[in-house]
Chain A
Amino acid sequence: MTVHQPLEFFVDPSRCIGCQSCVQACSECDTHRGESMIHLEFIDRGHSVQTVPMVCMHCEQPTCAEVCPADAIKRTADGVVQSARKPRCIACGNCVMACPFGVPELYIDRAIMMKCDMCYDRTSVGKRPMCATVCPSQALFFGTREQIEAIRPQSMPTNRFRFGEQVITTRVSVMVPRAPAPAPLLDVTAAMDERPANRTVRLNVIGAIDPLPDPFAEVEV
């Protein structure tokens, strides 16, 4: 008998082509009224075409919620951290400052924080989030762990991140190359010379860490 695995979100920055399809598609969602909740960053366009998409990582213990003085940020039973709730949010911006991934944004005109809620209107009814559905390079992928392992043998998902003393476990995973990745091409002149200077970029992956108890696990939204 097949056991159905839950659908999960995987981000692979090495695949991102910076096309902004995710940004454009995100703004089509009903829940945030024409605003795009996804961040797409050029790392340094002057020196590379590398871009990185950033969705809400949906932390098991969301820092944004922990620092919220108005208790406006809730996490659903299925682990999705929601945008601030309108009646409670006081637009103080604590969450914006505190989020280690830089995800929440304050909309001064509406006096509210909004952020990616993993297309809750879609994912809660079994559809894929808009960004991961349209992403032409599938840098954003939404599916089961079994699927991602089958189609991405060169990399593995990780969902633990260290920021100084803080260790965060997230519902969204980032794909990390299993072997050291080939050096990305940064400057055309390196490929024009007979003997280019090599430059390697490596990611450090955190090993196993015991998960901390989740104080928000039972919160109903």
Chain B
Amino acid sequence: MAKIPVDELAITRAYGPHVSAKIRGAPGEEPERLVKTHCCFCGQQCGIQLKVRNEQVIGFEPWEEFPFNRGMLCPKGVKRYLQGSHPDRLLTALARDPSQSSGFRPIAYDEAIAKVAREIERLQETHGHGSVGVLGGASLTTEKTYLLGKFARVCLKTPFIDYNGRLCMVSAGAANKKAFGIDRTTNPWADMIGTEVIWLAGSNVAECSPITTNYVWQARERGAKVIVQDPRITPIARTCDLYLPVRPGRDAALFAGVLQLMIDNGWIDRDFIEAHTVGFDEVAKYCREWTPARTADVTGVPERSLRKAAELWGQAKSSFFFHARGIEHHSNGVQNALGTINLVLASGRLGKPNCGYGTIVGQANGQGGREHGMKCDQLPGWREITNPDHRKYIAGVWDIEEKDLPGPGVDAYELFRKIDAGEIKGLVSICFNPKVSLPDSDFVTRALEKLEFYVAIDFFLNDTARHADVVLPGSLHEEDEGTVTQVEGRVIKVNKAVECPGDARQDWRIVQDIARALGRPKGFTFDDPRAIFEELRVASKGGVADYSGITYEKIERQMGVFWPCYAEDPRTGKASPDHEGTPRLFAPDSYNPVAKGAGRFYFPDGKARFNVADYRTPADDVDEAYPLFLTTGRVVSQFLSGTQTRRIGPLVSQYPEPRIELHPRLAQKLGIADGEWTTCETRRGTITLKAMVVTTIRPDTIFIPYHWAGEKSANRLTVAAQDPISKIPQYKVCACRVRKADGAPSYASVLEPQQ
């Protein structure tokens, strides 16, 4: 019965988001110890030291030795410590109770676990194993993601597990897999220094991955030209050498047009294409349609800029191509990513120092979370759940019959459609706030209300968990240990700084407690994250994402290990305890267990694949009724659905509430002044926010950041159109119309900015 128990405002008053009451340790309050760990937020995973005193994190100290960030941190990292000892922190389990003013009452942890097991059992006995679904998240450690995948398939015996990485990196992952046979950024970031050209497509580096800025600009000091492709002049675009103000949703066309110009001018590496790739001719044939004039017309980027891009990219001797959600969050997301890969493969610039390609992941464990079986179609080690050999191997590791291993499930959005259709009646969620983060959130709310039983695990009562029948108090990042794979493909170790307060438990313990209460404890009796990791090493062995040679000790000694890292040399089969990992992929002399010496890419013939990257008009494109493009994204001080960052006072102050960015030309036409209440409507919903009039956005486009809930949620507006391959939602473009609001919205007088 997952309807919101009482009025939302009453829940907000009780459970927040409130901003942290604590500000900082008193002057002179010395920490008892410093714990070397990593930031809990984005995919960069900066090294940081947490100051601990009296079992509380009281501050931070830069960790200048960690090689990725050398002490650098963004404002989220600086203030991350304020999420601990927070007034909103869940210290007990909660049960839904409409008779309470706050909608919930605290219950004993064991009672809560027993209730969860009882309800899951009841649903599965009546409606089958598949009537219960599981949703995970890519901010969890790899150990937890592995355990969750195993829990869904082995304990719950349901195929229905997916995760919020579905909203993040799946387009890039699918494209990487199609083109290279392996899904990872190709080089460490340090390889950027000395490169000639860096192309950033759809990546607001300065706000979404701030530490990467220094690498880009250090490369520029050494002569690199920077190309930025974005509908907005983001801070990284302000001083770039070439800015491509692409119309939202037209990226594949841009890549095809530029590749055609490179072909026309002979700026491609024919020897590389011949020796190391297949499929170029079909791509070249497709690109012929994309004349400069047509490309300019479709993309909104002038011909001279397209020619300049081809010239800079085509003639360089070394280069990096990076993309992020800006080109991936599309119903054409995989094609967009394949378009970038075609430009990289045609240049032949891979597998060398200063030459690379990658997607800049957004979530803490965006990389590791997508490798070990939390995805609906995947088993540990990037194995496929439909591949008989892969199934057999994992069934062996898990000590079950292969036939008992469920088949592929569905993506996170489809899982909600199944809830809506009544097929899935029970839900277990952790580290996911779909009510804020999924598109067309009114639909998500309707689906949630249809659940017969919903249990959420979280440390704060997030917006989705308000629908839960039972809430289990999970662990904050600093209360547990485990590994995470950051943006470069470097496996690093998160370390525990403090114990869980109150009845809160480490998430992996909660999952195992549910398994035990269900009477299905087999395979869920790990004593610590290290034991889970040891099983994961075995499970990933022989897969493309091979972690078998990684140990906690090696991570500490090397300050991270780049996967694949083999326990046994794939060439000789001999034990290789000193294998240091693979910082750079596709080197000329490299050997991988898929190609077995046939070539550098992860296919049996060792060759990379060109794929025709077909441009399609976005779903819900502009028309007369809805003439403007809406695009969404992040601001630097907030993270994802804001469950943590909307509770940290100094981060809230930095950018308190979402605003609608629009160009002065558009604002003038609509009669809207900076700071005025403005209403944006799409075919799904309407929201009213203050306007922010800036020349740094295309006049045919508006931008709204998505970190807020309820009446302020940008995802009330976005469209649930998905990429047919990756199933990523199309957050980065939909049609909208904008007008001056009739007045202040009703929420303005009752809610605090972050609520």
Contacts and interface: CB of A to CB of B under 8 A. Distances in A.
Interface of A: 14-21, 23-25, 27-28, 30-31, 33-34, 45-51, 128, 130, 133-138, 151-154, 181-182, 184-189, 191-194
Nearest to B242: A191
Contacts of A154: 220-221
B214 interface: yes
B59 interface: yes
A189 B700 CA distance: 10
Contacts of A16: 235
A176 to B, nearest CB: 14
A133 B71 contact: yes
Given A20-B75, A133-B72, A28 B60 contact: yes
Given A24-B651, A133-B64, 4 more contacts: A27-B650, A49-B233, A49-B696, A151-B221
Nearest to B232: A188
A148 to B, nearest CB: 11
Instruction: Name the residue in B218, B239, B241 with the highest tally of chain A Cβ atoms < 10 Å from its Cβ.
Output: B239
Instruction: Name the residue in A19, A30, A51, A133 with the highest tally of chain B Cβ atoms < 10 Å from its Cβ.
Output: A19
B235 A136 contact: no
7 contacts: A20-B654, A27-B24, A48-B695, A134-B77, A182-B239, A185-B239, A194-B304
Given A49-B233, A185-B237, A192-B300, A136 B24 contact: no
A10 B24 CA distance: 28
A185 B245 CA distance: 11
B12 interface: no
Contacts of B23: 34
A137 B674 contact: no
Interface string B17-28: 000000110011
Contacts of B692: 45
A188 B74 contact: no
B699 A189 contact: yes
Nearest to A186: B695
Contact of B695 (A14, A34, A46): A46
Contacts of A186: 233, 695-696
Contacts of B636: 17-20
B650 A24 contact: yes
Contacts of B235: 16-19, 49, 51
Contacts of B650: 24, 27
B198 to A, nearest CB: 15
B210 A137 contact: yes
A137 B217 contact: yes
Interface of B: 23-24, 27-28, 59-60, 62, 64, 71-75, 77-79, 206-207, 210-211, 213-214, 217-218, 220-222, 231-241, 243-245, 300-305, 636-637, 650-651, 654, 663-665, 674, 692-699
A193 B78 CA distance: 41
**B interface: dominant SS:** loop
Contact of B62 (A17, A134, A137): A134
Contact of B233 (A24, A136, A185): A185
A48 B221 contact: no
A188 B696 CA distance: 5
Contacts of B301: 192
A51 B654 CA distance: 14
Contact of B305 (A28, A153, A189, A191): A191
Nearest to A26: B78
B78 A182 contact: no
B214 A138 contact: yes
Nearest to B231: A188
Nearest to B44: A136
Contacts of A30: 27-28
Given A28-B59, A185-B243, A189-B699, A17 B213 contact: yes
Contacts of A51: 235
Contact of B698 (A48, A50, A188): A188
Contacts of A17: 206-207, 210, 213, 235-236, 636
A198 to B, nearest CB: 13
Contacts of B74: 19, 21, 134, 136
Given A45-B694, A188-B245, A21 B214 contact: no
A122 B473 CA distance: 39
Contact of A189 (B236, B637, B695): B695
Contacts of A47: 694-695
A133 B69 CA distance: 10
Instruction: Name the residue in A33, A51, A136, A186 with the highest tally of chain B Cβ atoms < 10 Å from its Cβ.
Output: A136
A136 B207 CA distance: 10
B663 A193 contact: no
Contacts of A21: 72-75, 77-78, 210
Given A15-B217, A21-B73, A188 B233 contact: yes
Instruction: Name the residue in B24, B28, B59 with the highest tally of chain A Cβ atoms < 10 Å from its Cβ.
Output: B24
Nearest to B63: A133
A134 B235 CA distance: 18
B205 to A, nearest CB: 8
Contacts of A194: 302-304
A69 to B, nearest CB: 29
B206 A137 contact: yes
Contacts of A19: 74-75, 206-207, 210, 235, 636-637
A121 to B, nearest CB: 10
Contacts of B674: 46
Nearest to B204: A17
Nearest to B303: A194
A49 B75 CA distance: 17
B238 A138 contact: no
A182 to B, nearest CB: 7
B71 A134 contact: yes
Contacts of B694: 45-47
A110 to B, nearest CB: 14
Instruction: Name the residue in A20, A34, A154 with the highest tally of chain B Cβ atoms < 10 Å from its Cβ.
Output: A20
Contacts of B651: 24
A134 B222 CA distance: 22
Contacts of A27: 24, 650
Contacts of B59: 28
Nearest to B222: A153
A194 B650 CA distance: 43
A192 B236 CA distance: 18
Contacts of B234: 49
A108 B73 CA distance: 32
Nearest to B247: A192
A21 B79 CA distance: 9
Given A136-B213, A192-B302, A192-B698, A49 B27 contact: no
A39 B211 CA distance: 21
Nearest to A155: B221
Contact of A25 (B73, B218, B241): B73
B235 to A, nearest CB: 4
Nearest to A181: B239
Contacts of B79: 24
Nearest to A45: B694
B245 A48 contact: no
B221 A187 contact: no
Nearest to A25: B78
A85 B699 CA distance: 52
A187 B238 contact: no
Rank and list the top 10 A-B pairs by shortest CB-CB distance, nearest first: A136-B210, A17-B206, A17-B235, A187-B695, A24-B75, A137-B213, A24-B78, A134-B73, A133-B62, A133-B71
